[in-house]
Structure 1
Amino acid sequence: MIRKLLARAFWRFSKWKLDTLPAPKRPSVFIGAPHTSNWDFILMLALVWEMGIDVRWLGKKEIFKGPFGLLFKALGGIPVDRKNPGHLVEDLIAQVKQGEMFGLVIAPDGTRSGNTHWKSGFYRIAQEANLPVCMAYIDRDTLTTGLGPSIDLSGDSKADMDKIREFYADKSGFYPERKVTPRLRHEGKELETPED
């Protein structure tokens, strides 16, 4: 209830507005894109709290150190060692298969400073755990954020990414110049590692 009230207050006084489809009715992998600013985190919390969605999210391990570490974990954060991701994807898939049902928010851009491609972990998790991918967005041009459509992955990564590219084509992100076009490094080929 407190989270919902905080979210309502945010949307009432913020210049940003919700423009969203209804929340998925089953656990999903939520793409958070374009990810270009720390403000994306605040918008994500306000969105999921307003909609009553229980989510976990991935963040670099460094932000979980110090006084904010416990807070970020309480807010659903899962620390990730970007230099040594190990079995992160496999561990998350195992949690879902063991019945831990939650929405997983992933920013596949991988960094706020921009990359040349998206990381493939979101795709592998959704495919192997048989979860739909819900496209959440931030658009600076319209000052809107929300949930877009969900898709069930076909296993044809190029065809699936074409749908994702089409949705995000007109979404600018908080800092439009940092936007990364949705593409996987080995798109159309077998996805092998979480770093792809």
Structure 2
Amino acid sequence: MLKAVARSLLKLFGWTVIEPPERPARAVLVGYPHTSNQDGLIALFTKLALGLDARWVGKDTLFRGPLDGIMRRLGGIPIDRRAPRGFVADMVAQFAANPNFLLVIAPEGTRSLTPGWKSGFYRIALGAKVPVALAFVDYSRRQAGILAYLTLTGDPAADIAAIAAHYEGRQGKHPELASPIRWLE
């Protein structure tokens, strides 16, 4: 029922939800662009509309006080961005322990403009031997969902170029804040 309600609300506001056929049971979902809190809200409704039982990574400050329980029930996993050591290995272990595991990560790591993407999602997907799902919110087309499921080659330059090609022309709420799709140095 929640799936139908989320689809109806998105449709009411003019949004279309898309996803390629044959969703894998395990994948790292890259959420891009992430330029505003509203992107996150549309993404949450899209997650519900697609019936994704996905976990997501958020800064630890979102999990303080009374919001902690709500965020965790919504699938949130807190990360201390000031000391993220061990996070990639922990997530690879989660994939190994769970036959059905979807993990959502915003590779920009923030809603602000950055010079490129963090590589954690990439290292997790390679380590867990799972595909990367290219999740998106596109205000220019009023579409949200998953563009493609990519199996990484292990060649970082080729993989980031393939990812960038899929996201070409997709715009968040504030396009000027969308970080370029390239690896941080």
- Same structural fold, with TM-score higher than 0.5 when normalized by the shorter chain: yes
The SS at the match of 1:141 is: coil
Instruction: After superposing the two structures, state which structure 1 stretch, 8-17 or 91-100, moved more.
Output: 8-17
Q: CA deviation at 1:17?
A: 2.3
CA distance, structure 2, for counterparts of residue 166 and residue 9 of structure 1? 30
What corresponds to 1:60 in structure 2?
59
Structure 2 runs not aligned, ≥5 long: none
Contact 1:31 1:134 in 2 (8 A): yes
Identity, % of aligned positions: 39
Give the structure-1-normalised TM-score.
0.89
Q: CA deviation at 1:22?
A: 3.2
What corresponds to 1:143 in structure 2?
142
CA distance, structure 2, for counterparts of residue 5 and residue 167 of structure 1? 28
Equivalent residue runs for 1:148-187 within 5 Å: 148-186=147-185
Deviations 1:27-59 (A, max 9, x none): 111110011011122222221211211100000
What corresponds to 1:126 in structure 2?
125
Contact 1:23 1:53 in 2 (8 A): no
CA distance, structure 2, for counterparts of residue 160 and residue 118 of structure 1? 13
Deviations 1:93-116 (A, max 9, x none): 111112363110010011101100
Contact 1:23 1:147 in 2 (8 A): no
Contact 2:19 2:148 in 1 (8 A): no
What corresponds to 2:86 in structure 1?
87
Deviations 1:54-103 (A, max 9, x none): 10000000011121111010000000100011211111111111236311
CA distance, structure 2, for counterparts of residue 155 and residue 16 of structure 1? 35
CA distance, structure 2, for counterparts of residue 154 and residue 136 of structure 1? 19
The SS at the match of 1:28 is: strand
What corresponds to 1:46 in structure 2?
45
Deviations 1:131-186 (A, max 9, x none): 10010111121121111111111110100111001111211111111011111125
Structure 1 runs not aligned, ≥5 long: 187-196
- Partner AA of 2:166 in structure 1: F
Give the structure-2-normalised TM-score.
0.94
- After the TM superposition, which parts of structure 1 deviate over 4 Å for at least 4 consecutive aligned residues? none
What corresponds to 2:70 in structure 1?
71
What corresponds to 1:189 in structure 2?
none
The SS at the match of 2:100 is: coil
Q: CA deviation at 1:6?
A: 3.1
Counterparts in 2 of 1:12 and 1:25: CA distance versus 1, 3 Å? same
CA distance, structure 2, for counterparts of residue 26 and residue 102 of structure 1? 6
Equivalent residue runs for 1:18-57 within 5 Å: 18-22=17-21, 24-57=23-56
Contact 1:21 1:146 in 2 (8 A): no
What corresponds to 1:191 in structure 2?
none
